[in-house]
Amino acid sequence: MNNLLKIMKYDWKRNNVAFTTFTAVFAIVQLFLLFSHSLLNWNANIVYIFSSVGFIVPVSMIVVFMCKTYAANLSSYSRRLIPVSGGWTIASPLVLGSIALILLPFVFYGYSELYNAVTGSNFHVLNPIVDSLSNVAAALIIYFWTLLFLTIAIQFSITLAKSVSIKKLGPWVGIAAFFIIQMVVSWIDNLLFDNDGSFNFVAETDSAANVISYQVQLWNAQLWGSAILQAVVAAIMFYTMVKLLNKRVQL
């Protein structure tokens, strides 16, 4: 555990300049958009949509940071020569990234409230159809877990690519492994939980079977089923990565 904290410290130090720079640029852009309505008289509705969609950028940057840090650590002497098990090397960027991923929705919520206050609009971050506490929690879990699983799968592919003894073949093996894992997981998911990837809209109907409205139900058996399946796959990938890191990965 102590080793994890030490590795996290050095992963943070390695990224802190890039991270701070990115955060500053993002904050400036969002602040500009925040005041664009009052200063430039831009359409508040359209700007809000843009700045909300803009939050996809930090989300993807966090994933990129996690994967890049991991990949860099795999081929860095300083990390490969220390007597620390490979597990911590894998976990460290995941934990750091997770902290950022968990904080981000709250930032987004805060930003939206601020936007409403500044522009006098009335945007509801939480869409009316998902606006129940359980749905919000479920949405956050889906958001967080999807990205974490994606990152673990990418880490796994990188590890695999580095373990292939014929160097030129490595990246292709890694890429192939990534897509195969994604396909296999969704195939099993379908098979076991009949998960068609839709958002589980449950239609509310009247007595004549006419649809009145759709109610989304994120908190359901399928969700948990898929999450558990992915967790199992992630655990297998993690275990394999530790083995590969300690035994096979070439510099």
Partner 1 sequence: MSSILKLTSVSKRYTSSRNALHNVSFDLQAGKVVGLLGSNGSGKSTIMKMAAGLLQPTSGTVSVTGIPVGTASKAVTSFMPDRPMTESWMRVKDAVLFYQDFFSDFDKVKATEMLRFMNVNEDERVGALSKGMSERLHLSLALSRNAKLYLLDEPIGGVDLVARDKILDAILQYYSEESCLVVSTHLVSDIERIFDEVVFIRNGSVVLHEEVETIRMKYGKSVEEKFKEVYAES
Residues lying near partner 1 in the complex (CB under 8 A) are found at 6, 9-10, 13-14, 17, 76-78, 80-86, 165-167, 246-248, 250-251
* Cβ 78 vs Cβ 7: under 8 Å: no
When the beta carbons of 85 and 127 are compared against partner 1, the nearer one is: 85
User: Least distance to partner 1 from the beta carbon of 82, Å?
Assistant: 4
- In terms of Cα–Cα distance, which of 129, 94, 105, 74 is closest to 249? 74
The two tokens of residue 237 are: 């990938």
User: Least distance to partner 1 from the beta carbon of 178, Å?
Assistant: 24
User: Least distance to partner 1 from the beta carbon of 42, Å?
Assistant: 40
Helix axes 170-193, 221-247, angle to 10 degrees: 150
When the beta carbons of 124 and 168 are compared against partner 1, the nearer one is: 168
Q: Rounded to whole angstroms, how far apart are CA atoms 6 and 23? A: 24
Q: Rounded to whole angstroms, how far apart are CA atoms 220 and 18? A: 39
User: Least distance to partner 1 from the beta carbon of 57, Å?
Assistant: 24
When the beta carbons of 68 and 80 are compared against partner 1, the nearer one is: 80
- Which value, in Å, is the radius of gyration of the alpha carbons in the chain? 22
- In terms of Cα–Cα distance, which of 165, 141, 126, 153 is closest to 236? 153
User: Least distance to partner 1 from the beta carbon of 90, Å?
Assistant: 14
User: Least distance to partner 1 from the beta carbon of 92, Å?
Assistant: 13
Count of positions (residues) in the chain: 251
* Cβ 69 vs Cβ 78: under 8 Å: no
Helix axes 221-247, 86-119, angle to 10 degrees: 140
When the beta carbons of 86 and 174 are compared against partner 1, the nearer one is: 86
Q: Rounded to whole angstroms, how far apart are CA atoms 107 and 114? A: 10
User: Least distance to partner 1 from the beta carbon of 251, Å?
Assistant: 5
When the beta carbons of 75 and 205 are compared against partner 1, the nearer one is: 75
When the beta carbons of 5 and 25 are compared against partner 1, the nearer one is: 5
**CA 238 to chain CA mean position, Å:** 17
When the beta carbons of 43 and 246 are compared against partner 1, the nearer one is: 246
